[in-house]
Structure 1
Amino acid sequence: MVTHERIRMFNTKETYPNQTLDNDLCQAVKAGNTIYVRGQIGTDFNGNLVGLGDPGEQAKQAMKNVKQLLEEAGSELSHVVKTTTYITDPRYREPVYQEVGKWFKGVYPISTGLVISGLAQPEWLMEIDVIAVIPE
């Protein structure tokens, strides 16, 4: 009995060729009516970084990814109930949150924001993951 739907499965050998990793992961998981979206960054699904050095542009691409993954799971941005946003410099808070706020206008999710020392690749300035619940 399958209880989860895994969306956009991948292996880290392909996504992190500069690292010696071999992990099977996916971009999102649908479990019942709950969608868990993996942390999204300023890289599109073809592996192209958008907004090198620009946290606002990276946030815009990350949110495009979130929206697409939610739609692939049968959900939408209005279903998001929780966000966690990571930034690598406190000065990035305004450009990142201004961009993210545009996408969640009128949604009112709960939100956690963290300033961290770094992400998996040094050019990544922000990351956001979300949880959504599809209404019954």
Structure 2
Amino acid sequence: MFNTKETYPNQSLDNDLCQAVVAGNTVYVRGQVGTDFEGNLIGLGNPQAQAEQAMKNVKQLLEEAGSDLSHIVKTTTYITDPRYREPVYREVGKWLKGVFPISTGLVVAGLAQPQWLMEIDVIAVIPEKK
């Protein structure tokens, strides 16, 4: 859980949100960017490095929720420039090799912070315990 006052100190926001929510056996992970959980941007100007950090975040959040990368069923990737598609998708592909989720990709005019070049959110399942 977090409040946007701390996450976006440069904006006047006051929303209570979560990084991930578990509903039944499904995990919904909030859009992850190149910022670590201490608020440090990794990869200023580098979409591949931002994608790597975003996927580290996704991995951690899924594991904390009782799932993992191999149980991702859907991804949505946002990039701010079509030229970022190859480095971002190549990096995400390293993390999801052999997983085969469905995927949506969008080129957007901008993200919540101007230094963010990409964002990815995922939906995963929590496997049944045997």
Q: TM-score range by the shorter chain?
A: over 0.9
Q: Distance in 1 between matches of 2:112 and 2:30?
A: 13
The aligned counterpart of 1:130 is 122
Q: Distance in 1 between matches of 2:60 and 2:126?
A: 15
Structure 2 unaligned segments of length 5 or more: list them. Answer: none
TM-score (norm 1): 0.93
Are 2:86 and 1:94 equivalent residues in the alignment? yes
Are 2:78 and 1:83 equivalent residues in the alignment? no
Structure 1 unaligned segments of length 5 or more: list them. Answer: 1-8
CA offsets 1:6-37 (integer angstroms, 9 cap, x no match)? xxx00000000000000000100011110000
Are 2:7 and 1:15 equivalent residues in the alignment? yes
Are 2:41 and 1:49 equivalent residues in the alignment? yes
Letter in 2 for 1:81: V
Are 2:96 and 1:104 equivalent residues in the alignment? yes
Give secondary structure in 1 for the equivalent of 2:19: strand
Give matches, 1:65-76, under 5 Å: 65-76=57-68
Q: Distance in 2 between matches of 1:134 and 1:25?
A: 21
Q: Distance in 2 between matches of 1:126 and 1:132?
A: 20
Q: Distance in 2 between matches of 1:48 and 1:18?
A: 15
Report how many residues are paired.
128
Are 2:22 and 1:30 equivalent residues in the alignment? yes
Native 8 Å contact 2:79 2:106 kept in 1: yes
Greater strand content: 1
Q: Note the C-alpha offset of 1:134.
A: 1.8
CA RMSD of aligned residues (A): 0.4
Q: Distance in 2 between matches of 1:85 and 1:47?
A: 21
TM-score (norm 2): 0.98
After TM superposition, where is structure 1 displaced by more than 4 Å over at least 4 residues in a row?
Answer: none
Q: Distance in 1 between matches of 2:62 and 2:126?
A: 10
